[in-house]
Amino acid sequence: MAIYNFAAGPAMLPKAVMERAQAEFTNYQNCGSGIMELSHRGKLFQPVIDRAEANVRELLNISDDYAVLFIQGGASLQFAMLAMNLLNGGVADYVDTGVWSAKAAKEAAMFGTVNLVASSKATKYDHIPAQSEWKRSENAAYLHITSNNTVAGTQYQVLPKPTAGVPMIADMSSDIMSRVFDINDFGMIYAGAQKNLGPSGVALVVIRKDLAARTDESKVPTMLRYSTYIDNGSMFNTPPTFAIYMLALITDWLKGIGGVAAIEKINNEKAAILYDFLDNSTFFKSPVAKADRSRMNVVFRTPSDELDAAFVKEAKENGLTDLKGHRLVGGCRASIYNAMPIEGVKALVEFMKKFELANK
């Protein structure tokens, strides 16, 4: 029986990548040791981190105006780190579209003033507030958005354009490299790796170099300055070598299937299969506004909490794992990141049809 992992993160990785990592796990390039055992200063690891950076630059079309960094602590560390480096006691604009954007705003408020330009909290984050309703500050240090909301199942289908003089920053943890976007619209993006880029343990940060120069280094600890990572190639201290190695393999894989444009087409097809079923079901329902539905995290419910639990249990017995919704909202959730094959989504829909017939 095929097993399809719909976990929100850490999430499934491409089978071809896992098999290559398995083959190299104890004997990387015939050196007699695994990649996790090798010095980050040695001649074998440097090409790995160099390839990871080069792949990211190629896939996202990143110019030399930006630094590509690999930082421990996940996206949650970036909530505070970006404010420590860029806010300098000023005002930052935040769009509140879910649990993680709210956490980001809360952390930033420790280092300056946070202006919530818009929020969908009152309706349980079931939509992205229309940009025409946003109330931006006149002299914001930056505007922060969360491009995809894993808990609520919403996503900016059209990413905002920046206001002149106000750099836009995005937490792209759950949809990084899932669709084409223009990096030049952003002053900085960041993403925890454990959705589309690899295992947990590293965050990818892409930051315009002139923004990194804003930091008052007398007030920010060494390991929390972007300049430290820029000046030392993300290796001021020992980096998360295995996570970076896996990121290199996954970006190799993504390049091999045609890059971000190719995976976007596949992701659109997967999401359409699942949402088309939900829209025609009289049993399963999606609570998310159609215009803002995530193509990465599809949230849905049955008619009752008891049936939700039964669905998750029976799905697991049929090889469809980790479909339980986030603990804060309940229900069900299918995360269909880059690594999820179309066959997995089709298998899920077929099971949903059977479950619906059996429980009406």
Q: Residue 51: what are its φ and ψ, rounded to 5°?
A: -70, -40
pLDDT band of residue 328 (cuts 50, 70, 90) is: confident
Residue in 93, 171, 175, 322 annotated catalytic: 171
pLDDT band of residue 260 (cuts 50, 70, 90) is: very high
Mean pLDDT (whole number) for 260-269: 98
Question: Among 316, 306, 311, 296, which residue's Cα sits nearest to residue 352?
Answer: 311
Residue in 93, 96, 175, 195 annotated catalytic: 195
Active site residue 100: yes
Q: Report d(CA 6, CA 344) in Å as an integer.
A: 9
CA dist 331 → 85, 128, 299, 301, 306 (Å)? 38, 20, 7, 5, 10
Query: 3.40.50.1370, 1.10.730.10, 3.40.640.10, 2.160.20.10: which CATH number matches 16-256?
Result: 3.40.640.10
CA dist 216 → 87, 220, 222 (Å)? 10, 7, 11
Q: Report d(CA 151, CA 128) in Å as an integer.
A: 13
pLDDT of res. 69: 98
Percent share of the chain, pLDDT over 90: 98
Q: Which fold has domain 4-13+258-359?
A: Aspartate Aminotransferase, domain 1 (3.90.1150)
pLDDT of res. 80: 98
pLDDT of res. 103: 98
Residue in 100, 175, 253, 270 annotated catalytic: 100
Mean pLDDT (whole number) for 111-131: 97
pLDDT in tens, 272-313: 999 999 999 999 999 999 999 999 999 999 999 999 999 999
String of DSSP letters for 62-97: --TTEEEEEESSHHHHHHHHHHHHHTTTSEEEEEE-
Q: Report d(CA 195, CA 340) in Å as an integer.
A: 11
**151 in Cβ contact with 329 (< 8 Å):** yes
3-state secondary structure of 212: helix
pLDDT band of residue 1 (cuts 50, 70, 90) is: confident
Instruction: Give the Cβ contact number of residue 32 at 10 Å.
Output: 9
Domain ranges of the chain: 4-13+258-359, 16-256
Active site residue 255: no
**199 in Cβ contact with 10 (< 8 Å):** yes
pTM of the predicted model as reported, rounded to 2 decimal places: 0.97
